[in-house]
Structure 1
Amino acid sequence: MPSASCIKIFGRDDSVSVNGIITNRLKRLAEEVAYLKQERDATPNLRAYQRNQRLKKAVERSLQVAIEVCFDISQRIISIEGLPPASTYRETFETLHQAGVLSSELTFRLKQMVGFRNLIVHDYTRIDDERVYGILKRRLGDFEAFAEEIERYLSGE
């Protein structure tokens, strides 16, 4: 099994040295997911979520960071592999899917998350608390699935 600092890429005989960027990003993703799970478990319902402005802002930011971490990792892999650069977040995940790194189901879900991220960043006046709360309650597994698929890729499986 390759070490975290030296991985075999797509079965090639030569190894590519990875300077820890992907590993560090995966750790950051795990931290964000752990925080979000903590808040999810401490928030009994939508109404409690809606009443807590500090919680709403923290959850929105943490979800944004988690999505951007997935994007950063994906961009790094595209660069390492010499794949065609993507011009959008959605294309980035599609490129990894086409290269066999991400499953089609996860790619679809990540593309949906990109739309959510864009809403937070660019159209923040229209953030729907129900949508955010729904992601908090039901979609954190998408980030864990992303980490698993990236770790599988890193291990050469």
Structure 2
Amino acid sequence: MIDKALILRKFSELDEYSRQIGEFASTTSEEYSGNWKIQRIVERTLQMMIESCADIANHIISSNEYRVPKNYVDIFKVLYENDIIDSKTFDNMANMVKFRNIVVHDDDKIDASIVINILRKQLNDFMTFRNAILHVL
């Protein structure tokens, strides 16, 4: 059974992170690249947002006894396979997870233009995910 209170708490966290990171939406690539504090705040906040979405997704997967995901991207694929999210939301969340993996594992140097693009154009992807989950609750 889906614990709606748990999901709503996670949504509250997501909303708070969204408000916080919104303060950096006008940051330029130069400002981002030249300021380790901005980098740390933005990257860590994005990581927490992505992980909150993954936590929500994992709870839904477990509660509905869907197949066990193999990795972070697969978490969102399971939701897509079960018509919880649409293909565009899946693609957006899969890209966010790939970004998270770079942040967490430091596999590559983080490209400032990607971060700035997320800040300016893709923060709404989190709200799209949120709304899709609310729709099924």
How high is the TM-score relative to the length of structure 2?
0.93
> Do residues 137 (structure 1) and 120 (structure 2) align?
yes
- In 2, Cα distance between equivalents of 1:77 and 1:86: 12
- In 1, Cα distance between equivalents of 2:107 and 2:8: 31
Larger radius of gyration: 1
- Alpha-carbon offset, residue 23 of structure 1: 0.9
- In 1, Cα distance between equivalents of 2:85 and 2:59: 14
> Do residues 106 (structure 1) and 89 (structure 2) align?
yes
- Alpha-carbon offset, residue 125 of structure 1: 5.2
Give the CA RMSD over aligned residues: 1.4
How high is the TM-score relative to the length of structure 1?
0.82
CA contact (8 A) 2:57 2:79 kept: yes
- Alpha-carbon offset, residue 93 of structure 1: 0.4
Partner in structure 2 of residue 29 of structure 1: 14
C-alpha deviations, 1:32-63, integer Å up to 9, x for none? 1111112214x3x2212222211111000000
Unpaired runs of 5+ residues, structure 1, are: 1-15
Unpaired runs of 5+ residues, structure 2, are: none
The residue type equivalent to 2:90 in the other structure is T
- In 2, Cα distance between equivalents of 1:18 and 1:100: 19
> Do residues 121 (structure 1) and 90 (structure 2) align?
no
- In 2, Cα distance between equivalents of 1:47 and 1:70: 29
The residue type equivalent to 1:129 in the other structure is A
Corresponding residue pairs, total: 137
C-alpha deviations, 1:69-127, integer Å up to 9, x for none? 11000000001101111121111101101111001110011111111000001125511
- In 2, Cα distance between equivalents of 1:85 and 1:78: 8
Q: Name whichever structure is richer in helix by fraction.
A: 2
- In 2, Cα distance between equivalents of 1:132 and 1:105: 20
